[in-house]
Structure 1
């Protein structure tokens, strides 16, 4: 058992309050804090702390020092000598890039292809930085907004018609004439490959039409229009602004989640959430970013099958104090645990006896983790690492209330 200190990633879209508040630090922070990583990714690893709270070594180093004890033979046999998942707190004050992730087969092929081409793994134009896929779950801690998955084309036809913009008529005809995944592919491909000179006229015209529609009131697409205007203000010549018209605009309340499989086009817009993903860094971007965009490769991995929010929602089950979010991903399972030190509203303790590497990330209060005659305490903003070789543990609230998120491999 180890207490972990997470790694803060200061991306420009991050919050100056959310992660600092979770960590019990003054706000606003000096710089935007976008993500707090609890994991063993080569690009950034959590730090194992000693009894005095001082870093002693990174979690990746801890695992590599004794892989069998850290991961267990079952995990090593299936995933190799690597922690299969990465757990994060994500805090977005601005929209992230429009992106998708490859399947296992696409990632392996793309990684080998770019290696053979001699492209450095850290090169800005590199698409595949490892040979693994990256399914992910985002679980809202606060109200959380996102674009995810291609909407039912019939609804998109309604939205484009409401905008009532003659410049959109040729594109409306494409999707109205073929309201299925093939029509979505054709329209998205057309928009994302438009010349910049065309985008310079079309995107502002769409924004003006959205302003007029919103001002008239009564639109069934108020949330979509607001998002379009916000994205258009930040990226006035970006095809990702047009692409947002094709995606589900989703609002999550705390405790609600999305599961994003390979090929799902998405962009997180605003809010604080727990995110868990397969331990990969493969991202193919489609807009809303100054970073590298490879349109042909993105089109190769995208899944244009229309989906609903319900189809993107993980299955949820409750076992005592644990709320479990189940997905098809073999690398991870995420759950949320609320403990009550007073024992009045929730249990004050919970026991874990399942094998495999686990991380318990604390986001409110404090927890005591007891096992093998040892007790360690983790406060909000810290986590606990449980190696496969560690004994069964009992987790107790060390404050009046405590909330933590449990990541494990669903063995």
Structure 2
């Protein structure tokens, strides 16, 4: 059980204040978008040892998961994460082409797939998954432009997922000219003030246009569901699920990967063809994760992936002997509120305030937390870790099992 030191990422969509405030620091005025916890080579955590700081991978090997704090002040790119086969093939292809890992043209940073889960720390707005065809047509029915009219005709001729993908493909291959996008934004702004019942689609497009005024992503956003997560709610983004986070502070739990296929709202490398290829067939995994309760104080979110589960535990003086945490082969624990002490079976203890983190492994045995606060723990689930129920965010129906 040892303390971690973690790296932050200064992407331009990040908040200037949320992560510094979360960590109890004074912001520099520059955006801080993410803090990474894990062993990914692009931003590996350092672990305290008697000999000083060392890469976490020196002690733990390659940890199969990664945890991030993400703070969005502007919309992120429209993106999809690849499955295992696509990730391995893409990485080998770019390695053979000699594209450096830190090149702006690099898409595949590793060989891993990247299923992920968002756990909201504040009100968190995101676009996830495609709207049903009928709803997209209703959104389009209030707009008038050559691109929208052509897309509507495509959806009427080819309903369901295949028709929506054809529309997306057409938008990415031949984006509408800037003047047409500008006129669509004007129409969207007018519809927001008209009080139409689907005005949130138009307000989202207008908001995105403030940051990316000529981007085809403005039009693509009209195809996507917008959701607002409240603190403590979680949504699972399986590989192949199209999404774009809009604003707020969250934890992201994921497999140990930084593979992202982008198709708009970014200055980073775009791979629209790759995004289309990696889209999951079907529209049934826009999924809220319902937690399990192994104890009165702990919620466990395990969206049926091998690499990670996330436990959130309330620690209170009402439990004078402390609250049990999850014991696992690999675990990273972060205090996300208040202040706690974590004790292992050998009697070692480390105090954590908000934003501070430790790494634990099987040698620590039973883990206990005391104090007044809240901790999040990402860990490698065992074979007996129960899967969380996944609920359709659109219809609140059970979601089919993940292969």
Instruction: Give the structure-2-normalised TM-score.
Output: 0.89
- Residues of 1 paired with 2:164 and 2:243: CA distance? 15
8 Å contact from structure 2 (residues 136, 223) kept in 1: yes
5+ residue gaps in structure 1? 65-81
Total equivalences in the alignment: 380
Q: Is the 8 A contact 2:6 2:37 kept in 1?
A: yes
Q: Which one of 341, 348, 355 corresponds to residue 368 of structure 1?
A: 341
After the TM superposition, which of the residue ranges 388-397 and 272-281 deviates more from structure 2? 388-397
Cα separation, 1, equivalents of 2:282 and 2:326: 40
Of 331, 335, 354, 2:311 maps to: 335
1:12-411 equivalences under 5 Å are: 12-26=12-26, 28-49=27-48, 56-64=53-61, 82-165=62-145, 168-195=148-175, 198-217=176-195, 219-303=196-280, 305-307=282-284, 311-318=286-293, 319-341=295-317, 343=318, 349-352=322-325, 354-371=327-344, 372-397=346-371, 401-411=372-382
Moved more, 200-209 or 99-108: 200-209
Counterpart CA distance in 2 for 1:385 and 1:83 is 11
CA contact (8 A) 1:349 1:394 kept: yes
Question: 1:62–1:186: structure 2 CA closer, same or farther, 3 Å change rule?
Answer: same
| Change beyond 3 A, Cα 1:126–1:347 | farther
Distance 1:156 1:168 in 2: 10
Question: 1:229 and 1:55 mapped to 2: Cα distance?
Answer: 50
Distance of 1:304 and 1:155 partners within structure 2: 19
In the alignment, the residues of structure 2 paired with residue 370 and residue 13 of structure 1 have an alpha-carbon distance, to the nearest angstrom, of 38
TM-score, normalized by length of structure 1?
0.87
In the alignment, structure 2 segments of 5+ residues that lack a partner are 383-403
Which structure's residues are more often helix, by fraction?
1
CA contact (8 A) 1:265 1:302 kept: yes
Question: How far did residue 328 of structure 1 move?
Answer: 1.9
Residue 40 of structure 1: how far off its partner (Å): 1.5
Which is worse superposed, 381-390 or 113-122? 113-122
Shift of 1:364: 1.4
Distance 1:255 1:191 in 2: 35
Alignment CA distance shift 1:55-1:208 (3 Å)? farther
RMSD: 2.0
Distance 1:394 1:108, change over 3 A: same
- 1:44 alignment partner, SS class: coil
TM-aligned CA distance change 1:5 to 1:119, over 3 Å: closer
Partner Cα separation in structure 2 for residue 225 and residue 121 of structure 1: 38
Query: Distance in 2 between the 1:394 and 1:237 partners?
Result: 53
Following superposition, the deviation at residue 183 of structure 1 comes to: 0.4
Deviation, 1:124, is: 2.2
